[in-house]
Every structure is written in C-alpha cells, then in structure tokens.
Amino acid sequence: MKRNKGVVLTAAGLTLTGALALSACGGGGASETSAADIEATDDGATLSLWVRPGNEAVTDQIVEAYNDSHENTVEITHVPADQYVTKYAQSAQSGSLPDILAADLVFMPQIVDNGTALDLTDLLEESGAAGNLAPAHVQAASADGRIYGVPYVTDTSLYLYNKTLLEQAGLDPEAPPTTWDGVADAAEKITALGDDYYGAYISGNAPGSLAYSFTPMIWAQGQSVVTEDGGFDLDNEATQNALQFMQDLYENGDIPTSSKTDGGDGFFSVFASGKIGFNFSGGNGVNTSTLGTDPQFDFGLAPIPGPEDGQWATFSGGDAVAISTQSENKNQAWDFVAWLTSTETSNDVYLSLPALPPRTDVEIPAELGDQFTVPAELVRDGQTYVTTNYNETIASAQGPWVEMFQSVVFDGADPAEATKKAQAAADEITK
C-alpha cells in the first residue's frame, strides 16, 4: 500500500517539477525565428514528430513516403491519446517539444493558445495551400485570422447504412433517408426484421465518438455548440431536439441496449455484424478492413441529417500538424509541412494509399468508391470544436457532454432538464 501511495505522490511531485521548470524558463522559450526567415530546407536533418496512435495506416505511411523521397528524416513517436495533452504540457514547459506536433485536431486550440505553434499563414499563402486545405483542421488551428496548423489525417463523421437490410425491409437502398423521420421510419422497419436486428447504432459511452457522430445532429439545425469565446452552448432547443430524436430511437427498441456501455469498441464492429441498419460513425476510407471482417452485405455512406430535408452536418476530425516554436529545425520542418500540403502529395501519396487528402482542391478518382468520394465531399463543409476546454467538457468520461447524452437517451431524462444541467456544468468548467 505504501507503494501505491508513493505513486500518487510521486506523480503529483513530478507535475510540480514540470511546472517549476515553467517558471524557471519564463514560459515557453519561443525562439526569435519568424516565418519570414523560413525557407524549406532538405539537408539531411532529423525531425521529431509526435502523433497519437490509431491512424498509423496514414500517419506512418505518409512519413515513410517523405523519408523515401527526401534527405531529411522524420522520426515518428506515437503518444497515447489520453496522455498527449499531459506530455505536451510538460514538454512545452521544459522546452523539449518535438519539431513537429501532430495532434487530434480538437487539441489544436490548446496548442495554439499556448503559443507553441509557429504562425504558418504567410508560408501557406506563398505555397498556394492556403484556402485549399480541409477547413475544419484550419479552423481548429487558427486564432485571430492566423493559421498555425494544417491537416495531416482527415476523416469525417457520417452514417453508414446496410443496403442489404434496407432492401430486405422494403426500402430503396440507393435513396437513404435524409431526415430524422426518415431514419426513424426506416430503423423501425429494420428492427422488425428479426430478433437480433436493430435499426440504428451509436457508441453511446464514448465521449469523443459522440462529439463526432452526435454533434452533427445539432449543427444540422444551424445551432453551434461552441461559442466564439470558447464557451459552450448546450442549453438550446436544437440540442434538446437531437437528444429527443435519439431517445425516441432507443425507447422504440431500435438501438440495442449494449450501446449504453460501448466505450468505442463497437464503433464499427457492431455494424460489421450485418444486423444494424444505420451506424452513426465516421468514414476515413471505411472499407472491409476497417469493418474488421469481410462483411457479407453492401453498405453505403450518407451525411448525418437534421430534422428537415436538406439539413445535414459533419464533424471533420483527424490529426493536424504544427511546427513547434521550440524547434531548432524550423526550415526542415517547413519542408515537411510544405510537402504535406502540396497538391502532388495529396494526389500521388494520399490518394494512392488511399486516404482522404489534406487538400480539398484535388479530384477524388471515382474508382476509389463511395467510401472516399462521399467523405471527401463532406470534408469541404466539415465543422469542429474550437475551444481549449474540449478535454474536460467533451472528452472526459466524467464530463457533462456524455452525461447529458446518457441520461436522456438511455435513462429517459427530460432533454430540457439535461441540457440545463449540462450547461451549468460546462459553465462551471469554462468560467
């Protein structure tokens, strides 16, 4: 028991040491190099890059493609997603950040706010990438009209639907529903197909996944969730409507009860069983391999709708990269970022993987199929959360976001009361 106590105290002590280092070096340690002096340099330097695990199929392959064609070498380190912010904070304070920071784009506001990302605006204007990059990534990495980060991995939320089941239920598999009522009607018919069939699915206990697959139902009504000053707007009619829609689906028996405890492990695998009609999830080249097994059914992709026809929205997620202000190889790091955001790389490297490209001005070959052409179209209108309070409010398993969703959808709470409660908790965090 002593050991355990020691661990707690040591952990607290270590954070203190990190924080002391902050006050010692006066916060940050940004060097004087301004973007104007930066010139892409490929001279055999070694660049460190941090990224969260999970997207290796893209992140590592892209780095490999760069290393194969350049003198510089990018060394990639996978930092576990739930340790990323902590590790970043400690390294930022002790001046030991990597040259290139790749992070889940929802953490970009934190990195930008902390002043550790290099202003890339002029460089991107010059290279022609500005204005042609996935907008959600740029939005997440921007402050006061300046851009500090670019897209690295791009994906986008949507719903997957089982064409085979739609057909069995007497619905047109090529005309997926475009309204909540449409989804609810179709879901009911699919649930009626048999004992283990369910109309819809969502990973209901995974806070980050819910931000991804549930927020679009709020956005689709024209309601934003994050305010301009980084606070939250949860107590509104649009959020209540979206919660009510999900609650009705669940109470109607169209969502399996196991959704309540799914912390993300069923994100694709439940749908892959072939017994789910609509899966609110995401698509970065969703294919037979992402679905785990070779599904014995046809599936399609469509935007997550709002209540009215024509309303839809999408959370564009993935990873963004920034150049650390602490880097001593800024010229070489820019060489990597310039290459990453070039049209050639999007066309020749990303699309041949294949993966969704960072650039929005390249054409997606039709032979890549719906799982690329549909998301690539959605990315152009992708939205995201731009707030430094994402971690505590949205991503935390004890945060108000997931509690609001759980209490209404699975436990039958009144949406208006739940949004009020969530708003109060979110205000407490952001105050």
Partner 1 sequence: MTTTGRRRPPSGAVREALTGWGLALPATILVAVFFVLPFVMNLGMSFFDWPTFGTPSFTGIDNYQAVLTDPDFGRAALFTVGYTVGCSVLGVAVSLGLAILVRPKFRGRTAIRTVLFAPFTIGFAPAGLLFLAMSNTRTGVLPAIAISLGLAPHGTDWFADTGSTLVLVIIMTVWKTIGLTMLVLIIGMDSIPEEVYEAAKLDGANGWTTLTRITLPLIMKPLSLVILLTVTTTFLGFDQFFTLTEGGPNNSTVTIVYYLYNAAFVNLDRGYAASVAVVVVAIMAAISIFQVRLQRGKGGAS
Chain residues binding partner 1 by CB under 8 A are 1, 4-6, 8-17, 19, 23, 27, 82, 85-86, 89, 92, 110, 113-114, 205, 256-258, 260-261, 263, 265-266, 270, 391-392, 395-399, 403, 406-407, 410-411, 429
Q: Which amino acid is at 27?
A: G
Output the smallest distance, CB 84 to partner 1, in A. Answer: 11
Q: Is 259 helix (H, G, I), strand (E, B) or coil?
A: helix
Nearer to partner 1, 38 or 270 (CB): 270
Output the smallest distance, CB 89 to partner 1, in A. Answer: 5
What one-character-per-residue DSSP string does 265-317 give?
Answer: TTTTHHHHTT-EEEEEEE-SS--TTTTSS--SS-EEEEPEE-SSTT-EE-BEE
Closest CA to 408 of 265, 266, 276, 241: 241
For 1, residues 6+ apart whose C-beta sits below 8 A from its C-beta are none
The backbone torsions φ and ψ at residue 370, rounded to the nearest 5 degrees and listed phi first, read: -55, -35
Nearer to partner 1, 44 or 80 (CB): 80
Nearer to partner 1, 263 or 307 (CB): 263
CA distance 271 to 365: 27
Nearer to partner 1, 122 or 414 (CB): 414
Output the smallest distance, CB 187 to partner 1, in A. Answer: 18
The continuous run of DSSP H or E covering 186 comes out as helix 180-191
Closest CA to 166 of 195, 188, 135: 188
Nearer to partner 1, 31 or 258 (CB): 258
Output the smallest distance, CB 153 to partner 1, in A. Answer: 24
Output the smallest distance, CB 167 to partner 1, in A. Answer: 25
Nearer to partner 1, 19 or 353 (CB): 19
CA distance 321 to 150: 5
The C-alpha R_g of the chain, in whole angstroms, comes to 22
Output the smallest distance, CB 198 to partner 1, in A. Answer: 11
